[in-house]
Chain A
């Protein structure tokens, strides 16, 4: 039982490049979330999903897209990366309690 895993752990992008972050959970949870955390700040919700095939916007959705094609996976996409998207990205899944992955550290130059 791995819990919540995130791929990749680190990534450096140039402005304008695209990438996809993968979140996987093996707890059969319906709900999944993507957060970002900037230095010295709390976590902010980007997008979330209440089940396979569904997604919804959170607090800071601009510049990101998501997909939930399979129940166990939640993908976060950056179509055209910007330096303002330099951050640490955390994925979480939940039944009634959210459990977090280890994070992806993204730098956009």
Chain B
């Protein structure tokens, strides 16, 4: 079972920041928080990951609470092309079976004009 809880859906106005929450209260000390998104029927796309510090890349920012029990993915200026299902996944950063991704149901983000 997925070790994360996300709201099933969210709306965001185009050009505004989209803030997607994720709860992972049972996260272990060596597990990272990963975010992926899936745009209609395409392959999942890696967005960002982090351990305990806030992270930023060209796509998004990741804010992880000090107790690491929750996090927020921020898309600073959402566009219509950001409409997708967003998955928050906790995992160890290894390959093989230890690093397997377990996808839950994610959050369906709808960006509206």
Contacts and interface: CB of A to CB of B under 8 A. Distances in A.
A43 B103 contact: yes
Interface of B: 2, 34, 41-46, 49, 87, 93-97, 99-106
A73 B10 CA distance: 38
A66 to B, nearest CB: 14
Interface residues of A, number: 27
17 contacts: A31-B95, A42-B102, A43-B44, A43-B103, A48-B96, A48-B97, A50-B96, A58-B100, A90-B44, A92-B101, A94-B99, A97-B34, A97-B49, A98-B46, A98-B99, A100-B44, A101-B43
A50 B100 CA distance: 11
Q: Is the interface of B mostly helix, strand, loop or mixed?
A: loop
Shortest Cβ-Cβ A-B pairs, 9 listed: A31-B95, A42-B103, A100-B43, A96-B93, A50-B96, A43-B103, A100-B44, A102-B43, A94-B95
Interface string A64-97: 0000000000000000000000001010101111
Interface of A: 4, 29-31, 33, 42-45, 48, 50, 56, 58, 88, 90, 92, 94-103, 105
